[in-house]
Structure 1
Amino acid sequence: MADATEAAPRASRAGRNLPAAIAVGVGLLVAVGASLAFRPEPFVGVVAIAVCAGLWELRAAFARRDITVPIWPLLVGGVGMVVSAHVGGPEALLVAYVLTLGAAALWRVLDGPGPQALRDTAAALFAATYVPFLAGFVVLLLGQADGNWRVAVFILLGVANDTGGFVAGVLFGRHPLAPTVSPKKSWEGLAGSLVLTTLVGLLGSHWVLNLPFLPQEGTAVLGSSLVLGLVLGVMTAVTATVGDLAESLLKRDLDLKDMGSLLPGHGGVLDRVDSLLMTAPFVYLVLSVAASGPAA
């Protein structure tokens, strides 16, 4: 009886269907791992599907505030950004991004000008930036040397952030991090995220880049797995938390609990990838700098 009594508060503090969340999380990891195993194209396809699902969720969410997002140019442009990043690199991603913004704005203005058109266009620009443009950095990461392993480390950093924060928050969370935005987040959870992301950063940077553990004289600042791992760990914990809080703030403004219901125990696709989207550009830039060092 005591075990049942203790289990109930933990389930409520977790705030989700834990068995379903674990099953879906493991399934997603297996699917992503399989897409990275042989050729890059399957993973690019997975990113494109996630981008389309995320844009569709944003369209439905904005509709609650009578904002009509021009979804079709965003879907076409979003897939175009992902493919462009894979085929042409950063320059192609930027060109596809600008073309998508122009197409979405033109599409909406042709429906009629006025204040409502301005609101709809602003929402479309936000959606194009938040989902496909940020997701494009994951595809750029895939294009680096040993890109499949780098993407794997990036995803594991995100998993470590969520897992460390969730476990530490449920077990030790006492002090709210941002109570008006996300009441369940705590400083203890952030500390758990920081510890686990740093551990994954240390192991991942040493394993993927094969850097010496300690800094060597005459090498780049990020030329050791110790420094690179610490930077990746701290940066991921901070940017992922900012990404989580940003989406929580958006959902609060739209009066939503979840962005969708596609993933049982997690909510929608955006609920699952919000922290990854915010983290992707930073991990890409840091690993790009590290790859330019003598150990690349």
Structure 2
Amino acid sequence: MTTPSAADRPGSSGPGTEPLPRYGSGAAQSSGTLGRSGPAWSHRPGRNERPGRDERPGRDERPERNERPERNERPGRNDREDDDTGPVPIVGDRPAPPPRPADDLPASTDQPTSTAMPSPLEVGELATTERPAGGRAGRDLRAAIGVGVGLVAVIVASLFVWRPAFLAVLVTAILVAVVELTRALGAGRFSPPLVPLLLGTLVMEGLAWSRGPTGLVVGFLLTALAVVLWRLGHGPAGYLKDAASGVLVALYVPLLAGFAVLLLVPDDGAVRVLAFIATVIASDVGGYAAGVLFGKHAMAPSISPKKSWEGMAGSVVACMLMATPFVVLWLGGPWWSGLVFGAALAVSSTVGDLGESLIKRDLGIKDMGNLLPGHGGIMDRLDSLLPSAAVAYLLLSLLAPV
């Protein structure tokens, strides 16, 4: 494409062309020429000859913005002369607080102190169950001792005044424990049928008293069958878990308690029951004292943080000291029988305590009930006694037979 010459363009001053009056000044129009070569619009002091936007001192060249010191370069933050703690680390958009000088720390710095919040897991587990091993027990000690002494007085009086009275006390306690455990399982959306469990408890303890071990086993089988059939009337939704939890309650509470009834049946049954209960109490007291004084190594922190191996050793020693006079002197067992009986009941009572703690932790509750001040519910006092009753009956049948 060829560019037209200046002479061919309209409005030029070349030969044979008339000047364009509108583009010239007044002087140029009077003389007939524009007085300039080239197009008139290229010499106007117009938009193209003004200093453009790109020629102006731009935003990046202004000293009042981009030449100001940066936030981290301002004096008074990282360059303070009186700050001997070093530069402040930047966390996100804000600087982290400087570390505290050594002079401001507390006087006792044997262990580092942490201000971090505990994890939800730690909060949930320790708040709903027990404190860590070696810590003080979170209970009203005076109320616990008072209630414990009262229970022991009722047991001893019923045993040595009239043995069937102890049977009535035991059955009442088992019925309350069944109700507490059934309600506690409701927190985990289990609904074991309560009516057949209460009736089955009466049947099991009555047959154990009148028919011995065979009657106890038959009573348990009848109770389990009644639970399964009773639950059929509520439909299929949740049937399996409700029936299974009902059988668990029947096995855990009235069946194991039936072994205490079997201990009561012989003529020396009062001594046998007292030996079993006193040994379990010694396990609780010895474990508590040793755990508070010497407990450092947790036994099962995920189940019961306050249980320690030092407390377990205290339980074993206390049980041996308590069981030996009962088994050797009053029941006629060999000299070593008290040591075996005491050590076995220390293990069974600890297992029973851990088993109930596992159930409570799974259900997210602290106690099975609140009937006994300082202890919780009846079930919270039977947790160590129930498995120990079965172990005591089996061992005494071998070590000190009737």
State the alpha-carbon separation in 1 of the partners of residues 305 and 245 from structure 2: 26
In terms of Rg, which structure is larger?
Answer: 2
Q: Which residue identity lines up with residue 268 of structure 1 in the other structure? A: G
State the alpha-carbon separation in 2 of the partners of residues 145 and 100 from structure 1: 29
Q: What is the CA-CA distance between 1:12 and the residue it aligns to?
A: 6.4
CA deviations on 1:224-276 (whole Å, 9 max, x unpaired) are 1x221011111011111110000000000000111111111111111111111
Matching residue of 2:182: 59
**Are 2:308 and 1:186 aligned?**
yes
State the alpha-carbon separation in 1 of the partners of residues 266 and 311 from structure 2: 32
For the structure 1 residues 63 and 117, does the alpha-carbon distance in structure 2 shift closer, same or farther, using more than 3 Å as the test? same
Match 2:140 to one of 17, 23, 27: 17
**Are 2:359 and 1:250 aligned?**
yes
What secondary structure does 1:13 align onto? coil
How many positions carry a matched residue from both structures? 270
**Aligned 1:103-142 pairs, distance under 5 A:** 103-114=226-237, 116-142=238-264
CA contact (8 A) 1:150 1:208 kept: no
State the alpha-carbon separation in 2 of the partners of residues 144 and 255 from structure 1: 41
Matching residue of 1:195: 317
Matching residue of 1:78: 201
Structure 1: unaligned runs, 5 residues or longer: 1-10, 212-223
Q: What is the CA-CA distance between 1:208 and the residue it aligns to?
A: 2.0
Q: Which residue identity lines up with residue 236 of structure 1 in the other structure? A: L
CA deviations on 1:64-90 (whole Å, 9 max, x unpaired) are 122111001100111211111111111
**Are 2:341 and 1:232 aligned?**
yes
Runs of 4+ with deviation above 4 angstroms: none
State the alpha-carbon separation in 1 of the partners of residues 310 and 267 from structure 2: 36
CA deviations on 1:160-186 (whole Å, 9 max, x unpaired) are 000000111111111111111001111
CA contact (8 A) 1:13 1:170 kept: yes
Q: What is the CA-CA distance between 1:21 and the residue it aligns to?
A: 0.3
Q: Which has the higher contact order (CA 8 A, sep 6+)?
A: 1
What secondary structure does 1:37 align onto? helix
Match 2:151 to one of 9, 15, 28: 28
Deviation larger for 46-55 or 124-133? 46-55
State the alpha-carbon separation in 2 of the partners of residues 255 and 72 from structure 1: 25
* Cα RMSD after superposing both structures: 1.5
State the alpha-carbon separation in 1 of the partners of residues 296 and 135 from structure 2: 15
State the alpha-carbon separation in 2 of the partners of residues 88 and 266 from structure 1: 34
Match 1:281 to one of 390, 393, 398: 390
State the alpha-carbon separation in 2 of the partners of residues 263 and 63 from structure 1: 21
Q: What is the CA-CA distance between 1:52 and the residue it aligns to?
A: 0.7
CA contact (8 A) 2:135 2:292 kept: no
